[in-house]
Amino acid sequence: MAFHKINITVNGAQEQVVVPSNMTLMQMLRESLALTGTKNGCSAGECGACTALMNGEPVNTCMVLAAECDGVEIVTVEGLADDNRLSPLQEAMLATGGVQCGFCTPGVLISSRALLDRNPNPSEDEIREALVGNLCRCTGYVRIIEAVKAAARTQVAASA
């Protein structure tokens, strides 16, 4: 088994990790860095629970090799709050009741964050499309979608 030394920035912190070839980014985050907010729901790129930002774009971290990540920048759910201050998206998820069991929540937040980064004022259809890769079994999605809309309004208001 070959190992690789990678330098990676995770939630702003620089890390050096030695990883085996077959380790996924999801495993590295959860097992090597103990960032367990990123969840394992299928290990097949289908459920979205392991979604994190890689160089600003959302990826299923179960479908990325850790060995490929030398020099990249990762943001996980643990990196969304600013110190103790929740981001507008996190606040909105609390306010609308978009959280139930919470297992899809980290991935949903990351996908939504990526959406608002590329499209600060998305339509409802755009929100639904952006979240199609984040399966949720509890909420029926409606309150999650409301949360993204609310966060967009907050952000637009803040930047106006």
Kindly state whether residue 17 participates in binding another protein, applying the rule CB under 8 A: no
Q: How many helices (H) and strands (E) in the chain?
A: 5, 5
Give the CA radius of gyration of the chain. 16
Q: Which of residues 36-55 bind another protein (CB under 8 A)?
A: 36-49, 51, 54
**Total of chain residues touching another protein, rule CB under 8 A:** 81
Kindly state whether residue 27 participates in binding another protein, applying the rule CB under 8 A: yes
User: 145 CB contacts (<8 Å, ≥6 apart)?
Assistant: 124, 127, 128, 131
Kindly state whether residue 137 participates in binding another protein, applying the rule CB under 8 A: yes
Are 7 and 71 in contact by the 8 Å Cβ rule? The answer is yes
In the complex, least distance from residue 160 CB atom to another protein, rounded to whole angstroms: 25
Q: Which of residues 55-74 bind another protein (CB under 8 A)?
A: 57-60, 62-65, 67-68
Q: How many CB atoms lie within 10 A of CB 102?
A: 11
Binding residue for another protein (CB under 8 A) from 103, 113, 150, 151?
103
